[in-house]
A and B are shown apart, each in its own frame.
Chain A
Amino acid sequence: MNATADFYTVQPKDAPPEMEEVRKLLAANDLELDDQIEVFVVCRQKGHIVACAGLDHYTIKCVAVAEDARGESLSLALGSEVVSLAAERGQYHLFLYSAPHNLPFFRGWGFYPLVEVPQRVVLMENSPVAIEKYCESLRVQRRPGKTIGGIVLNANPFTLGHRYLVAQAARACDWLHVFVVKEDASSFSYADRFALVAAGVKGIDNLTLYPGSDYIISRATFPGYFLKDKGLIESSWAAVDLLLFRDYIAPALGITRRYVGSEPFDPVTKSYNAQMKDWLQQAPSGQPPITVVEIPRASIGGVPISATEVRRLLAERDFGRIAALVPATTLQFLESLLPVNNTIQ
């Protein structure tokens, strides 16, 4: 039968001609093309692409509808198509980032707001209860005590610096909850990073280690395409991640302190840490403030231990210098990455 509107998918990596039209449509809506998008749903009407929505794993991005095609039924059909596409790809729990004034549009798609950074961005998910269910699963893990700590680690890979931070925090708290960021944009896969953290914190008894959560937002997951200014992107990412921590994760576990290692090198992380104090301690919130404790990085010979440095040394096969920076379990893993004759693949 003839359909007046035609929905189909395109893959950006195939560089189909559609992508030029999609770019134009996004630009007309003041959006840039996010290069992490794996697949787009597009709607063609009378020969033109009038609507699009992109999917990057479980995040919906780059949603745009041409001004003269804006009508409720097209937008709802677009939402239905992208949700069905995601389901086909095995993704049932979906997130999206939107400018706050578009919140009603996405409510129509069955998405519910989680946290909002006023005038900047609202994070939404496609369930009215998923966050509550997640918090419920966390609450089961609560521990008694006045001082409950929380740490979020990327650990790419786990170093003695990380070990030091965790040990210091555990010593100062009745209990410590440690989360590993789930994201495969790092040099080492999430599975490997998590295994190294688990091995590296053995022996610290007042600690619970958590696998990564959909509610801890890595910088790589956060889309910057609708906030043109780079500074704005960094601060918005930090805000969203920290608000989730403050409004949901911390209250569920009763966390009163968040520990973080001082960041002398990476500007993105440095900025994130600075904002931590804003969002966790000072910003108005329905939840109690969380004290941010910044612990000076462990150093070897006056140089702060850094995972970046470990990765650099790995590229040079300098296991001698690496051994001083990482626990034995991490060293073993790194050595196993290179074959017996130690040539880099």
Chain B
Amino acid sequence: MKLRRSMLFVPGDNAAMLSTSFVYKPDSVMFDLEDAVSLREKDSARLMVYQALQHPAYADIETVVRINELNTEYGLKDLEAAVRGGVDIVRLPKTETAQEIHELETHIARIEKACGRPVGDTKLMAAIESAIGVVNAVSIATASPRMVAIAIAGFDYLVDMHTRRSTGWEPELFYARAAVLHAARAAHIDAFDVVYGNVTDDEGFLREVQIAKQLGFNGKSLIHPKQIDLLHKAYAPTEAEVSHAKRVLAAAEEAHRKGLGVVSLDGKMVDPPVIHEAEMALQLAEAV
């Protein structure tokens, strides 16, 4: 199962970052052609990302490209570059309706056919950045079999909501987080929490990671490589959790060996979701 804890944002026109980001081993790397790139450099950044996608160093890391919205003069060209370059996931910014996902799909299928890539190979993720996006989260998350993740983008969303970031439990993000999470779980896809912009405040970052983790987010969008390790460590299960997970899986294996239909541990029944959770816990533990 693909771990998606850390999605590292890399500005598409930054040669140094494009050349080194793979070193930090994030679970996914997201090449940004949208907000991180000035209008003047859109064309150049597109080519940089197109070339970087094909670099052997990125062969083993899941790649994501954040294209510009399709209703801009850049969006479709970005899409061509991303799909033809072999990107794993296309990230659509400011997603508000399922219709946008359908439109995106149609274009991607066309490009896949044109460049000989298996149709359906390119996956999708949606970024929710507005109130409309939040209320449409379920239909967006279930809009296509290509959808693998949904993210909440805090900055634009809060502007739309006429409020701003606070500390503590961040009530201003609560509903959006919950909505996006539920949509993700209903659609059986991954959910990403907001970017934490203050790269000098590790404590604040970790506080927010705890919120995200407790809510059930698979991971978080990151803007600095040092956040990767901090995040991975925070997501790692405790020793107690790990040994419990091992016991659950051992029980499941034994039940399977004995041909029993039901798995039990310490006198209690163990449902499939619990077994799945145990598998995830071990995977997380091993990935730190």
B residues in contact with A1, CB < 8 Å: 9, 11, 32, 35-36, 195, 197, 223
Q: Is B199 an interface residue (CB 8 A)?
A: yes
Distance of A168 from chain B, by nearest CB (Å): 53
Chain B 196-229 residues near chain A, CB threshold 8 A: 197-199, 223
Say yes or no: B40 contacts A84, CB within 8 Å. Answer: yes
State the majority secondary structure of interface residues on A: loop
Q: Is A35 an interface residue (CB 8 A)?
A: no
Determine whether A316 belongs to the interface, using a CB cutoff of 8 Å to chain B.
no
B-contact bits for A43-58, CB 8 A (1 contact / 0 none): 0000000000000000
Interface centre among A1, A4, A84 (most CB of B within 10 A): A1
Residues from chain A with a CB closer than 8 A to the CB of B40 are 84, 88
A-B contact number at CB 8 A = 15
**How far does the alpha carbon of A156 sit from the alpha carbon of B11 in the complex, in Å?**
52
Asked whether A2 is an interface residue with its Cβ less than 8 Å from the other chain, the reply is yes
A1 to B36, CA, bound (A): 6
Closest to B221 in A: A1
A237 vs B40: C-alpha distance when bound (angstroms): 36
Smallest beta-carbon distance A73→chain B, Å: 8
CB-based nearest A residue for B223:
A1
Beta-carbon contacts under 8 Å, A80-138 to B: 84, 88
How distant is B29 from chain A, measured CB to nearest CB, in Å? 14
**A4 touching B199, Cβ below 8 Å:** yes
Contact with B along A1-43 (1 / 0, CB 8 A): 1101000000000000000000000000000000000000000
Over the window 27-59 of chain B, the binary record of Cβ atoms lying under 8 Å from chain A Cβ atoms (1 yes, 0 no) is 000001001100010000000000000000000
Q: In the complex, A1 Cα to B13 Cα: how many Å?
A: 13
- How near does chain B come to A102, taking the closest CB pair, in angstroms? 24
**Complex CA distance for A237 and B233, rounded to whole angstroms:** 62
**Cα(A176)–Cα(B47), bound, Å:** 51
Q: Which residues of B contact A2 (CB under 8 A)?
A: 197-199, 223
Instruction: With CB as the reference atom, state the residue of chain A lying closest to B196.
Output: A2
What's the least CB distance linking A71 to chain B, in Å?
A: 13
Who on chain A is nearest to B199 by CB?
A4
Per-position 1/0 for B264-275, Cβ under 8 A of A: 000000000000
Chain A residue, CB-CB nearest to B41: A84
Question: Least Cβ distance of B7 to chain A in Å?
Answer: 13
Residues of the A chain whose Cβ atoms lie less than 8 Å from the Cβ of B35: 1
Q: Considering the complex, which residues of chain B in the window 143-195 have a beta carbon less than 8 Å from any beta carbon of chain A?
A: 195
**10 A/B residue pairs, CB under 8 Å, sorted by A:** A1-B9, A1-B35, A1-B36, A1-B195, A1-B197, A1-B223, A2-B199, A2-B223, A84-B40, A88-B40
Task: Give 10 nearest A-B pairs by CB, closest first.
Answer: A2-B197, A1-B36, A1-B223, A1-B35, A1-B9, A2-B223, A88-B40, A84-B40, A1-B11, A1-B32
> Residues of A at under 8 Å CB distance from B?
1-2, 4, 84, 88
